[in-house]
């Protein structure tokens, strides 16, 4: 019996090593990205410049629960988004920034 266990030990170690590599290369980075995104969405406030997942740049004019109202363009058109549709805060396309400031 101990001889059979000794024969299986290298195979078991390979499987454990594979699982550890899988965890540190795939699962852990995804978890960090998810937490960073949740933090970014929770810290949104009125006046922040944002970019939607569709590429629309604007400034937050109102926040209510999971609803975000964003002003875009020269006419300050208001668009209502779900909070999860915000992909980034501040920065982005310089032309879009000029439109916001006009």
Question: Which stretches does DSSP call E strand in the chain?
Answer: 49-52, 57-64, 67-72, 77-82, 86-89
Give 23-50 pLDDT, tens digit per residue.
Answer: 889 888 999 999 999 999 999 999 999 9
Burial class (CB in 10 A: 0-12, 13-18, 19+), 69: middle
pLDDT in tens, the chain (102 residues): 678 878 888 899 999 999 999 988 988 899 999 999 999 999 999 999 999 999 999 999 999 989 999 999 999 999 999 999 999 998 544 554 555 555
């Amino acid at each position: 019996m101990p001889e059979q266990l000794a024969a299986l030990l290298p195979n078991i170690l390979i499987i454990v090593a594979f699982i550890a590599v899988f965890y540190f290369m795939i699962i852990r980075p995804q978890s960090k990205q998810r937490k960073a995104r949740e933090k970014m969405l929770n810290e949104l406030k009125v006046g922040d410049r944002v970019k939607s997942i569709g590429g629309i740049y604007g400034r937050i004019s109102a926040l209510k629960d999971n609803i975000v109202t964003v002003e875009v363009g020269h006419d300050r058109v208001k668009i209502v988004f779900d909070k999860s549709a915000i992909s980034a805060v501040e920065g982005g396309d310089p032309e879009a920034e000029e439109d916001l400031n006009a």
